[in-house]
Structure 1
């Protein structure tokens, strides 16, 4: 019997997170309740660190010391980032606004 119960995502839109194993951090801009990428992408991850598919996966505007990019990361590999360091990813301004308390919120977007 398969457990089809969906787990509640640990991180919400606008959460600042860091990877548990690799030196990058970012801001969550979308969440998939379970894995929703290609099998090829999943199999490209080394088996010893390959995440389970039955957990939330997060779309991040990510950055490391060298570059900015979009990352797709399993919940098991993310930790909250409490460093207080500013994020520099150029895509943040497009999607988020920061309030007086420092919290990131999605910008209101006009529908077409």
Structure 2
């Protein structure tokens, strides 16, 4: 069983957040919530996602900055139509954007 089969998005997919104004590229997938309880509790209850779903590590960007985000599957939408992501770490992890997704470099590590 591979994560890509169970998760809606895979490594290299370009996504955008359903509620907040950011987009990015997936660089890792957790089959279910794998962050701290404190992090989860800090999310307002009205928008707090369920833990029993895939969560994605995303090289994220908005109008003002670049960062990494940890996002539940329920809060992501596909966004490849908007083109490549400008996050500078994409060049460290991915070979290129082919118009649909980023292709991972072989033998590369995840960002810190």
TM-score, normalised to structure 2, is 0.86
Deviation track 1:52-105 (CA, whole Å, cap 9, x = no partner) reads 000000000000000000000000000001433331101100000116x33311
SS in structure 1 at match of 2:46: helix
- Answer with 1 or 2: which has the greater Rg: 1
How many residue pairs get matched? Answer: 105
Moved over 2 A (4+): 82-86
SS in structure 2 at match of 1:83: helix
Q: Which residue of 1 aligns with 2:42?
A: 44
**1:53 maps to which of 51, 54, 59:** 51
1:26-105 residue pairs with structure 2 within 5 A?
A: 26-98=24-96, 101-102=98-99, 103-105=101-103
In the aligned structure 1, how far is the partner of 2:90 from the partner of 2:108?
Answer: 17
Identify the structure with the greater helix proportion: 2
How large is the Cα RMSD of the aligned pairs?
2.0
In the aligned structure 1, how far is the partner of 2:94 from the partner of 2:105?
Answer: 5
Give 5+ residue unaligned stretches, structure 2. none
Structure 1 residues 9 and 110: CA distance shift in structure 2, 3 A: closer
